[in-house]
Amino acid sequence: MKKRKTPWKFILLFLLIFTGFILLIGFRFTADSALPNDTKIIESIPTVYGKAILYEDTNNHTFGLAEIHRSGGFMYHYAGGTYDYYIEGNEPFKAAGFGSDVEDGFMVGIRIKDPNIKHIVIGNHLENLTPSDEYEFNIETVKKHPTRYHIKEVVNQHVLFVLDEYSEFTWTIRALDQDGNLISDKLFGMSEARYVDW
């Protein structure tokens, strides 16, 4: 009995068509290549779903966030994000957020304008705080309430956090100087960051 030859040309053609199709619908072989065109990665954090990425648009120098999901163990696709953020006027920093639920988390990307800002703190333990209230806050506050705050050092004028979910807790942001003193904040409900000068 004659052995039937494997149709290699057919298999190769099928693989080429399949690869072309998955690339056409947005799947990529690396997380970086799944980003929108003309972008440069500033920072990425591995997550359970793939990667959280803070990036810059190289055309207009705005920044954004991307959620890159991993599928099938080796393919990546863009699963949403936010873009075109830039620092306006006298803002000390600009924050962008994306996500909402516990499954995929909530990412916060921050671009720093003021070179005196050395650390970014996210969180809050002060109840019913409004933008018109004066309050004391510094690095010692963070140390006294470690379960209520996330802190990161500013690297190349940016910081990226991946948190559990969107809430008042995860959208209250403060900036500290080298000595750990409060310079500016963006309290929950405020549209822009401000300098603290009381």
Backbone angles phi, psi at 107, to 5 degrees: -105, 145
Name residue, tokens 């696709």. Answer: 77
The pair of structure tokens assigned to 161 is 């956090």
Q: How far apart are the first and last CA of the chain?
A: 93
Overall pTM > 0.75:
yes
Q: CATH number for 37-46+88-195: choose from 2.60.120, 2.60.40, 1.10.10, 2.40.50.
A: 2.60.40
Residue 10: how many other CB atoms lie within 10 Å: 9
Structure tokens at 105: 């988390």
Q: pLDDT digit string (tens) for 22-80? A: 544 455 557 677 787 789 999 999 988 889 999 999 999 999 999 988 776 667 878 88
pLDDT digits (tens, 9 = 90+) for 133-185: 999 999 999 999 999 999 999 999 999 999 999 999 999 999 999 999 999 99
The strand pair at 158-163 and 149-153 is best described as unpaired
Query: Which of 29, 68, 28 lies closest to 49 in space, CA to CA?
Result: 68
Question: Would you say 110 and 93 are in contact if contact means Cβ atoms under 8 Å apart?
Answer: yes
Q: Which amino acid is at 193?
A: A
Q: Give the domain ranges of the chain.
A: 37-46+88-195
